[in-house]
Structure 1
Amino acid sequence: MNYIKAFAPATVANVACGFDIFGFALDEPGDIVELRKRDEPGIIIKDIIGDEGRLPREPERNAVSVVMLKFLEHIGSTQGVEVTLHKNMPLGSGMGSSSASSVVGIFAINELLGRPLTQRELLPFAMEGERIACGAAHADNVGPSLLGGFVVIRSYSPLDVFKVKVPDELYCTLVHPDVEVNTKDARYILRNEVSLKNTISQMGNVAGLIAGLMQEDYDLVSRSMVDVIIEPVRSILIPEFDHVKQAALDSGALGCSISGAGPSMFALSRGRDTAERVAKTMSEAFGSVGITTKSYVSQINQQGPKVLETA
């Protein structure tokens, strides 16, 4: 194999109460990478399409390629690679844009070189892409994008990640308003200390959400999608947040919160019809104040990244 084209999906991280520990993958959107072997050593970013020239072209500074550099060093390879990245989601969107780049990069080069590492062994490399992009090597985006499904990060030291079974009728609505929230800024405004009362409440919701998903108890899922720690702080960065959230709930969503660091918002619903209706009302709520949106509806993507083409 001398050429590969691969896809890695967008993700919803935090999932209301699960800051930095919950995340799940979507069917779309996602990033696409094309890799071609070179005769000379080294990684070259040939082109990045869709970023409006905002992402660095130096391999050691871009999430899609820094993971490849670390991977090649780890396996002791001097294989040269030419990279073309297709960015199919906005930067600073709250949809795991940087993680999709990291995951598609590490997944594609592992496939191109004959899978020397397992999918799960690729996770620490993907996390390094997040460190380059936003300053923190968190796994709640790269975990689900790489492994698929609904992922829990039980521990970062040592890294302990597992997947949770979700109901087949569970659908996500993801709505991206045409505003930008910088992930570093969204982390900076968070408080370093949390009250005991809020900690207890959040722990109860975390446990309830996992139990609700595993038992297909939609009422429990709904009651547990409450974030008393992060959402009250970050929601001030999203115009019309309360209005949009209430519109989702009024349309039948089980719950609604911030996707990642925002400004995208997500809702979970039972059934595609409800999720489609929620997408319409959330978009209309943003539109009532002149904010344009793009929305996506999908089940939880259980596959993660995939190969699109080889040669």
Structure 2
Amino acid sequence: MADPAILTHSLTKKYGAVTAVHEMDLEVKTGEVFGFLGPNGAGKSTTIRTLLDQIRPTVGSATILGLDSHTDSLAIRRRVGYVPGDLALYPNLTGRETIRYFARLRGGVEQAVVDELAQRLQADLTKKVKDYSTGNRQKIGLIQAFMHRPELLILDEPNAGLDPLMQQEFLTLLAEARERGSTVFLSSHTLSEVERIADRVGIIRDGRLIVVERIDDLKRKAVRRLDFEFAQPLAADTFAGVTGVREVTVDGTHVHISYEGPVTDVLRAATTYEVLNLTSREEDLEEIFLAYYRGDEADAVGEASASQAESTNHVR
């Protein structure tokens, strides 16, 4: 059985009194696309920099491709493609010179692969880096990350500045990498960027990994909504106690219901009255993601404990 692509044990990073990453236990399977989600400042980039030995953990450890992230950091970097969240390139080099520089650091790469990536991303390699837009600099970062066909891609907000067409091409590149057996660790603050490609997602809040879920399981948790229009006004407690109902808003003849699970009991209660109109909609996954950032800190800690126990059983 293959080693996990990424495995952390109680990974913690503190800056004085501030804990940027708190006792993170995470396992990313070989060959999967894993979305690492959280808003700016949640601890995503600190986690990545710690994994890549750019900074040292205060407590805990990590292995990448079965190797110790600190003692084997050089060997790891040969096998990893990385796009940092704060991509910095030499401003007076052209895009082509930049790619050649990174290629030499890696001991050489196939020029045909570089040319194909540049064509697919519509990257003009003749301009100097200082003359690039944010999106065009990001294309150079993506080329250098993909060009040696690494076993593991670690990508921190890689879509920054890319137009929708290039974002779609980027997702295609990720799908192809997965088909080759590569693992992708994709950090983002937007669930919609990763939901079409990720197998699983982990959500980080204030440095804590609060949940790890398969995308399909996350979708099944989506709260559905029904909007009724009745022939007559209903009392506010009409749907009280109905199985699955989470929230009811009554505005005269209009009733808005949020529910989980089968709709049978909701419809049975509603059709005892004359229904003039009915519409149904599902909660966007982005709302589910944002829901993990609502509520008080005690709820977050409770979620973390329960989710970690459950995710450990799923992941291992």
The two structures share one fold, judged by TM-score above 0.5: no
Bigger-Rg structure (1/2): 2
Give the structure-2-normalised TM-score: 0.31
Give the structure-1-normalised TM-score: 0.32
